[in-house]
Structure 1
Amino acid sequence: MTSNLDPDARTSYRLISVAARLVQRRQDDALAHLGLTRAAVIALEGLAGGPLNQEQLAEAIRVQSQTLGRVLLRLEGAGYITRTRQSADRRQFKVELTESGAAILEAARREEINAYPDDPSIGWKVLSEELAKFVSALPAGRSHEVVPFAPPEHRSARRPQDTRGSAFRGMDESGH
């Protein structure tokens, strides 16, 4: 079987994969002393705009609701979120950031910023635009675990489903 894929595209796919692994490793290292995982930060980010039920949050951050449930249990145990059973549908929980959850999210944002390369020669805006095009070009059915990610300076102004930027794998139980 032959491929019509441009050789530059193959190289780019590989670079994206390597870059994602390096970014994830740096984020893991930066968040470790806070006792957080990337998965936890993604969930906290999803709640930064206000309370959601678990299914809405899972959809917003593009992960499976069951996977998210395990992350939410840990966040609730740490006091970063509350989950309140909905009166209209007793199966649904309203998930909401606590004050300590908002504070730990801000600390995580600072740590993530410090984990990024500080190289003024990198065209972050161009990179972000190109990666957004790449993510948009991927067939929707390929992976439901791709999570949109915007640089920290854009996070507070946008809801997770509206962010544009690079992408990295979503959550598993360990946050990897």
Structure 2
Amino acid sequence: MEIEVIKGDITEIQVDAIVNAANTSLLGGGGVDGAIHRKGGPSILEACYAIRNKQGGCDVGEAVITTAGKLPAKYVIHTVGPVWNHGNNDEDLLLESCYKQSLALAVANGVKTIAFPNISTGIYRYPKDKAAVVAVSTVQAFSEKEKLDRVIFVCFDDENYALYNRLLTPEG
């Protein structure tokens, strides 16, 4: 499995599935969540409403899958990352669960290529360096058991891009 990092806009990545750093309501919000809903169009929100009606939203550390609407992907996997509370509320385990749940949903739906944003590092204030370690180590451990063709970490800012690049470069 190929694991790579790029700097860019996750809504423009051509993969089977992109991951959305959602909130528990699944109704869109700021950051990457808002961008995915705006660019993907109303079919994503309609699918999220259907999930809410069935199960009442999405808990922290969990993931659900919907159509990608007008995005160049086939699916959006919505996962709810933890809000950082100085590491006092199992944030590492919850963030790890976001990646594991998203990857498991990808495999279950025949996804071969998936793109992740930097989950919880925006308004949820998860320290970027700590989040990068959790993300990379979880994806690497998953790649030893399950096979996807490609996982892309899509970084919106230079700081995350440098952190992921360092973790994914053998001499880093």
Superposition TM-score, scaled by structure 1 size = 0.26
Question: Which one has the bigger helix percentage?
Answer: 1
Question: Which one has the bigger strand percentage?
Answer: 2
